[in-house]
């Protein structure tokens, strides 16, 4: 059950300084336009012998100023009753700048603390932090849809969309139905064994290269953040088309995926917040000319080429022929299940290409954030170690741990939920658009066509839901109080994976990785932050990225 955390509706008078400031700016533009009009009317331009191109230029300038003035007034007026930073009534640059700096995880929540639970962040954009609203806007019957300008910026192909970027709700739902079974390990898939292979590679890498022991001598510190990213990539590729890239085993960024993310995500997410710019960046001509191509020899294009070849193995002339060709493991993968479900070769290639941006960075963030807070809290660290050790001694934990076993460890589940709460995989996106007839959110009417963003950081640190110590990492909160109270905490935290028809398809895979990596690392190693004063760096354009969490590794078997 969700409760609206919004405060009493704010009257227009309560934010009159902001409105007044905007009115002053717009009035200045209007007076400028009027002055130019008077000047233009007072001067006999043609009769004075002024060249026609100068006359045209003046009219062009006047027309632009008039258009900009009218459009600014219209944009500001439409959502004038909703407070926000001063420039957001007529410009998207404030929000775009917040994303560009990589500090949106601080800037957006601070704006909401100042301006209230419904904060204006652009001429046509509002940000909310209320769990009930997140449920409503993502509901199957809510009537909300994805705004095209934003989602076009995250598509992988100039001609077609994937389930990640599709804005037509009917097409999205049909596509999701066809690929849902693969994402959830249906059919002949063995998703657990696939993840076990990757986690085993990670444990072996750390034991061989980074673990200190009495006989090994000095070893370098482990960059846990990078290792988490490699694990996420290998897990997605192993389950996606049956063969991990080997990023963990070779400790190498094959096909340059991580480099692509580090280089391009700042631009893509920033452009998405500026509709006028996203129309250009995501246009077919620009993507055809400058986007990655399967024929490229490096980077994202090389990755797309690999996907096309893997998909082609399962098809002939665009049609599946006989039984799908299984992966090197001899087991089925997501792609094989999709083939059996009858999706086209084109659609299969598109959806495989969407798996990495949809599932690798978000899962890596959850792995990184959880470990950062766990290593920073000796009480939680020791208690989780104790729960795992007890489970091993009593024979309730296999090697490696299974999903079923992990879900029977209450403190582990509390730690993982608390880690996601403190560092949500998505912090300030993705928007939904209010249906044409408008809707009421937290007691306020929102005009149709308005983009609604979610401040996940603010929502998951709401004191009315998580208590006065919501800013602290304290897993015990999920084990305290009544069942109704605990269920409310778990359900609210689960909204980090969205809800309803847009709920994250990869949640099961992400949770498998979180459980297995956390338990297997804790049972095999003791980890210690090298520099507690500067444990790591964080940057967030939409999905947060943690870098340089350097840890010292020693052996700590719990069997």
Mean pLDDT of 81-93: 92
Residue 268 is assigned to a structural domain of this protein: yes
Question: CA end-to-end span of the chain, whole Å?
Answer: 41
Q: What pLDDT shows up at residue 132?
A: 92
Specify if 345 maps to a domain. yes
Residues 132 and 50 in one domain: yes
- Over residues 106-125, the pLDDT tens digits come to 999 999 999 999 999 999 99
Which residue range is the domain that position 89 belongs to?
12-147
Which of 139-153, 162-176, 302-316 comes out lowest in average pLDDT? 302-316
Least confident of 145-154, 286-295, 484-493: 286-295
68-77 pLDDT tens trace: 667 667 666 7
The CA-atom distances, in angstroms, between 384 and each of 185, 474, 490, 508 are 28, 12, 19, 22
**Domain limit, last residue, from 147, 179, 210:** 147
pLDDT tens-digit profile of 361-385?
A: 899 999 999 999 999 999 999 999 9
Beta strands 125-128 and 451-454 are: parallel
Residue 305 forms part of a structural domain: yes
Mean pLDDT of the chain: 85
473 and 410 assigned to the same domain: yes
Same domain, 401 and 477: yes
Q: Tell me if 102 sits within 8 A of 539, measured CB to CB.
A: yes
530-534: Cβ within 8 A, 24+ apart: 530/221, 532/376
HSE (CB half, 13 Å, CA atoms) of 210? 21
Same domain, 547 and 413: yes
Of 97, 112, 147, the position where a domain reaches its end is: 147
Q: Please give the pLDDT value at position 71.
A: 64
pLDDT for residue 146 is more than 80:
yes
The CATH number that applies at residue 397 is 1.10.630.10
Same domain, 288 and 417: yes
pLDDT digits (tens, 9 = 90+) for 522-544: 999 999 999 999 999 999 888 88
Q: Are residues 193 and 326 in the same domain?
A: yes
- Interatomic CA distance for residues 173 and 163, integer angstroms: 8
d(CA 120, CA 116): 9
Maximal CA-CA distance, the chain: 100
Angstrom CA distances, 485 to 2, 437, 466, stand at: 11, 35, 10
The answer to whether residue 265 sits within a structural domain is yes
Secondary structure of 461-474 in HEC code, one letter for each residue? CCHHHHCCCCCCCC
Residue 452 belongs to a domain: no
Which of 17-21, 229-233, 336-340, 554-558 has the highest average model confidence (pLDDT)? 229-233
d(CA 523, CA 397): 11
Q: Are residues 86 and 30 in the same domain?
A: yes
The annotation status of 153 as a binding-site residue, yes or no, is no
Residue found under tokens 């949809």? 358
The pair of structure tokens assigned to 308 is 């096309």
Q: Which of 544, 540, 542 is nearest to 102 (CA)?
A: 540
For residue 358, give the nearest of 495, 539, 162, 169 by alpha carbon. 162
pLDDT of residue 25: 44
The answer to whether the beta carbons of residues 500 and 135 sit under 8 Å apart is yes
Same domain, 127 and 210: no
- C-beta neighbour count of 556 within 10 angstroms: 15
Identify the pLDDT of residue 2. 45
* Structural contact between residues 183 and 176, judged by C-beta atoms closer than 8 angstroms: no
Q: Judge if 99 and 232 occupy the same domain.
A: no
| 197 in the same domain as 326 | yes
Contact 454, 134 (CB under 8 A): yes
On whether residue 252 sits in a domain, the answer given is yes
Which range is most confident: 177-186, 274-283, 354-363, 470-479?
A: 470-479
Give the tens place of pLDDT for each residue, 436-445.
999 999 899 9
User: Closest by alpha carbon to 162, among 172, 177, 174, 173?
Assistant: 172
**Domain check: are 186 and 54 in the same one?**
no
- Tell me whether residue 393 is in a domain: yes
Phi, psi dihedrals of residue 528, rounded to the nearest 5°:
-135, 130
Q: Looking at the structure, do residues 503 and 550 belong to the same domain, yes or no?
A: yes
DSSP structure string for 34-88: HHHHHHHHHS-TTTTT--HHHHHHHHHHHHHHHHHHHHHHHHHHHTTTS---GGG
The per-residue pLDDT for 336 is 86
Stated length of the chain: 559
Task: Name the region of 521 (left: φ>0; alpha: ψ -120 to 50; beta: rest).
Answer: alpha
**Residue 396, C-beta contacts closer than 8 angstroms, at least 6 positions apart:** 405, 408
CB atoms within 10 A of CB 313: 14
Domain contains 450: no
Q: Please, which residues have CB within 8 angstroms of residue 23's CB and are 6 or more apart in sequence? A: none
Q: State how many domains the chain has.
A: 2
């Amino acid at each position: 059950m969700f409760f609206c955390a919004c405060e009493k509706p704010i009257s227009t008078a309560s934010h009159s300084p902001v409105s007044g400031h905007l009115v002053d700016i717009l009035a200045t533009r209007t007076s400028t336009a009027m002055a130019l009009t008077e000047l233009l009317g007072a001067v006999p331009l043609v009769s004075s012998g002024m060249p026609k191109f100068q006359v045209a230029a003046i009219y062009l300038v006047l027309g632009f100023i008039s258009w900009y003035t009218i459009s600014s007034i219209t944009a500001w007026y439409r959502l004038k009753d909703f407070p926000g930073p001063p420039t957001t009534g007529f410009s998207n640059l404030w929000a775009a700048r917040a994303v560009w700096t990589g500090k949106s995880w601080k800037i957006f929540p601070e704006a909401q603390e100042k301006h209230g639970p419904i904060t204006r962040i652009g001429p046509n954009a509002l940000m909310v932090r209320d769990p009930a609203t997140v449920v409503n806007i993502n509901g199957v019957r809510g009537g909300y849809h994805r705004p095209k300008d934003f989602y076009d910026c995250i598509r992988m192909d100039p001609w077609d969309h994937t389930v990640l970027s599709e804005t037509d709700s009917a097409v999205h739902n049909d596509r999701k139905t066809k690929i849902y079974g693969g994402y959830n390990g249906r059919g002949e898939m063995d998703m657990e064994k696939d993840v076990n292979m990757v986690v085993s590679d990670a444990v072996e890498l750390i034991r061989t290269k980074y673990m200190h022991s009495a006989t090994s001598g000095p070893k370098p510190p482990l960059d846990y953040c990078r290792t988490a990213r490699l694990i996420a990539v290998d897990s997605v590729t192993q389950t996606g088309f049956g063969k991990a890239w080997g990023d963990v085993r070779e400790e190498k960024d094959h096909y340059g995926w991580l480099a692509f993310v580090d280089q391009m995500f700042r631009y893509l997410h920033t452009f998405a917040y500026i509709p006028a710019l996203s129309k250009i960046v995501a246009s077919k001509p620009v993507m055809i000319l400058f986007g990655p191509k399967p024929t490229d020899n490096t980077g994202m294009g090389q990755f797309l080429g690999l996907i096309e070849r893997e998909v082609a193995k399962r098809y002939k002339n665009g049609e599946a022929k006989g039984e799908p060709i299984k992966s090197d493991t001899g087991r089925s993968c997501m792609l094989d299940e999709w083939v059996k479900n009858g999706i086209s070769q084109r659609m299969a290639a598109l959806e495989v290409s969407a798996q990495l941006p949809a599932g690798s960075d978000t899962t890596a963030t959850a792995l990184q954030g959880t470990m950062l807070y766990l290593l920073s809290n000796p009480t939680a660290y020791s208690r989780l170690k104790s729960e795992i050790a007890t489970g091993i001694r009593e024979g309730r934990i296999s090697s490696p741990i299974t999903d079923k076993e992990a879900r029977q460890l209450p403190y582990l589940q509390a730690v993982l939920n608390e880690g996601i709460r403190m560092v949500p995989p998505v912090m300030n996106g993705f928007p939904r658009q209010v249906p044409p007839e408008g809707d009421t959110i937290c007691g306020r009417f929102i005009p149709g066509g308005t983009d609604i963003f979610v401040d996940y950081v603010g929502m998951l640190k709401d004191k009315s839901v998580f208590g006065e110590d919501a800013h602290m990492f304290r897993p015990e909160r999920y084990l305290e109080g009544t069942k109704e109270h605990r269920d409310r905490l778990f359900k609210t935290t689960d909204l980090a994976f969205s809800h309803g028809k847009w709920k994250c398809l990869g949640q099961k895979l992400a949770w498998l990785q979180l459980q297995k990596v956390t338990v297997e690392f804790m049972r095999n190693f003791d980890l210690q932050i090298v520099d507690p004063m500067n444990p790591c760096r964080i940057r967030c354009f939409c999905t947060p990225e943690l870098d340089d969490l350097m840890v010292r590794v020693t052996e700590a078997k719990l069997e």
